[in-house]
Chain A
Amino acid sequence: MNIKSRDSKYLKGACMKYNLLEKTKVSELVNALKKKYRVVGPKEKENLFVYGDIEDAGEIRLEHKPPILSLKKYYLPQEEQLLAFKFKEVKAVPVEVKKENLVIFGAHTCDITGIICLDHASSIEPRDSNFHKRKKNVLIIGIECLRPCDEHATCVTMDTHNPKGGFDLMLTDAGNNYIVQVNSTEGENLINEYKFLFKESDAKSEDGLIKMRQEKEKWPRSLKVKTDDLKKTVDSGLKHKEWESVKARCVSCGNCTNVCPTCYCFDIKDDVDLNLNNGTRSRVWDSCQLKEFAEVAGGENFRKDRKSRQQHRLLRKFSFSVEKYNRFFCTGCGRCTRACMAKISLYETMNNLVKE
Chain B
Amino acid sequence: MANDTVMEKEKKASLYEPVAGKIVSVRQMTETEKWFKIELEGKKELHHCPGQFVEVSLLGIGEAPISISSSPTQRGYFELCVRKAGKITTVLHGMNEGAEIGIRGPFGHGFPVDELKGKDLLFIAGGLGIAPLRSLINFVIDKRKDFGKVTILLGCKEPSQLLYKDEIEKWSKLTDVAFRCTVDRGAPDWKGNVGLITELIPGVDIDVKQTYSIVCGPPIMYKFVLVKLMEKNIPENQILLSLERRMKCGVGKCGHCQINKHYCCQDGPVFSYDKLKGLEGAL
Residues of A within 8 A of B (CB): 82-83, 85-92, 94, 121-122, 124, 126-129, 132-133, 238, 264-270, 272, 279, 281, 283, 286, 288, 293-300, 302-303, 308, 311-312, 315-316, 319-320, 323-324
What are the residues of chain A within 8 A of B204 when measuring CB–CB?
A: none
A324–B253 CA distance with the chains assembled, in angstroms: 14
Q: Contacts A83-B14, A127-B10 given: A92-B59 contact, CB under 8 Å? A: yes
Looking across the interface, which residue of chain A has its beta carbon closest to that of B62?
Answer: A270
Do the beta carbons of A272 and B261 come within 8 Å of each other? no
Do the beta carbons of B246 and A296 come within 8 Å of each other? yes
Stretch at the interface among B15-23, B131-139, B187-195: B15-23
A88–B95 CA distance with the chains assembled, in angstroms: 12
Which of B13, B252, B255 is A286 in contact with, Cβ under 8 Å? B255
What are the residues of chain A within 8 A of B93 when measuring CB–CB?
A: none
Q: Besides the contacts A89-B100, A270-B60, what 6 more A-B pairs have beta carbons closer than 8 Å?
A: A82-B14, A83-B59, A270-B61, A281-B59, A320-B261, A323-B261
A77–B142 CA distance with the chains assembled, in angstroms: 48
Do the beta carbons of B60 and A266 come within 8 Å of each other? no
What are the residues of chain A within 8 A of B219 when measuring CB–CB?
A: 300
Do the beta carbons of A126 and B15 come within 8 Å of each other? yes
Query: Can you name 25 A-B residue pairings with CB atoms under 8 Å?
Result: A85-B59, A89-B100, A90-B57, A90-B59, A90-B101, A92-B17, A94-B13, A94-B16, A121-B253, A127-B6, A127-B10, A238-B280, A265-B255, A267-B248, A268-B62, A269-B62, A270-B60, A286-B256, A294-B245, A295-B246, A300-B218, A300-B219, A311-B280, A315-B280, A323-B261
B1, CB-defined interface residue at 8 Å: no
What are the residues of chain B within 8 A of A308 when measuring CB–CB?
A: 280-281
Do the beta carbons of A94 and B248 come within 8 Å of each other? no
Do the beta carbons of A266 and B102 come within 8 Å of each other? no
A127–B63 CA distance with the chains assembled, in angstroms: 21
Do the beta carbons of A92 and B281 come within 8 Å of each other? no
Do the beta carbons of B60 and A88 come within 8 Å of each other? yes
Q: Contacts A132-B10, A311-B280, A320-B261 given: A297-B64 contact, CB under 8 Å? A: yes
Which of A85, A92, A126, A267 is B251 in contact with, Cβ under 8 Å? A126
A199–B175 CA distance with the chains assembled, in angstroms: 87
Do the beta carbons of A90 and B20 come within 8 Å of each other? yes
Do the beta carbons of A293 and B62 come within 8 Å of each other? no
What are the residues of chain A within 8 A of B208 when measuring CB–CB?
A: none
A106–B254 CA distance with the chains assembled, in angstroms: 29
Do the beta carbons of A83 and B16 come within 8 Å of each other? yes
B89, CB-defined interface residue at 8 Å: yes
Looking across the interface, which residue of chain A has its beta carbon closest to that of B63?
Answer: A268
Q: Top 3 nearest A-B pairs by Cβ distance?
A: A265-B255, A297-B86, A94-B14
B96, CB-defined interface residue at 8 Å: no
Looking across the interface, which residue of chain A has its beta carbon closest to that of B219?
Answer: A300
Do the beta carbons of A265 and B20 come within 8 Å of each other? no
Do the beta carbons of B102 and A92 come within 8 Å of each other? yes
What are the residues of chain A within 8 A of B17 when measuring CB–CB?
A: 83, 92, 94
Do the beta carbons of A266 and B59 come within 8 Å of each other? no
What are the residues of chain B within 8 A of A315 when measuring CB–CB?
A: 260, 280
B2, CB-defined interface residue at 8 Å: no
**A216 CB to closest chain B CB, in angstroms?**
32
**B161 CB to closest chain A CB, in angstroms?**
14
B contact residues, total (Cβ < 8 Å): 45
Do the beta carbons of A293 and B85 come within 8 Å of each other? no
B83, CB-defined interface residue at 8 Å: yes
A133–B258 CA distance with the chains assembled, in angstroms: 26
Give the secondary structure class of A's interface. mixed
**A329 CB to closest chain B CB, in angstroms?**
11
A126–B85 CA distance with the chains assembled, in angstroms: 29
What are the residues of chain B within 8 A of A90 when measuring CB–CB?
A: 18, 20-21, 57, 59, 100-102
Looking across the interface, which residue of chain B has its beta carbon closest to that of A293?
Answer: B256
B120, CB-defined interface residue at 8 Å: no
What are the residues of chain B within 8 A of A303 when measuring CB–CB?
A: 281
Q: Contacts A133-B10, A238-B280, A297-B85 given: A124-B60 contact, CB under 8 Å? A: no
Do the beta carbons of B60 and A92 come within 8 Å of each other? no
Do the beta carbons of B244 and A268 come within 8 Å of each other? no
A238–B251 CA distance with the chains assembled, in angstroms: 29
A101–B145 CA distance with the chains assembled, in angstroms: 61
Pick the most buried of A133, A281, A286: most chain B CB atoms within 10 A of its CB: A281
What are the residues of chain A within 8 A of B89 when measuring CB–CB?
A: 297
A56–B261 CA distance with the chains assembled, in angstroms: 45
Do the beta carbons of B83 and A298 come within 8 Å of each other? yes
**A27 CB to closest chain B CB, in angstroms?**
37
**B93 CB to closest chain A CB, in angstroms?**
12
A319–B260 CA distance with the chains assembled, in angstroms: 9
Interface residues of B in 50-94 (CB under 8 A from A): 57, 59-64, 83, 85-86, 89
Which of B10, B21, B259 is A129 in contact with, Cβ under 8 Å? B10
**B139 CB to closest chain A CB, in angstroms?**
26
**B12 CB to closest chain A CB, in angstroms?**
10
What are the residues of chain B within 8 A of A82 when measuring CB–CB?
A: 14, 16
Which of B16, B246, B253 is A294 in contact with, Cβ under 8 Å? B246
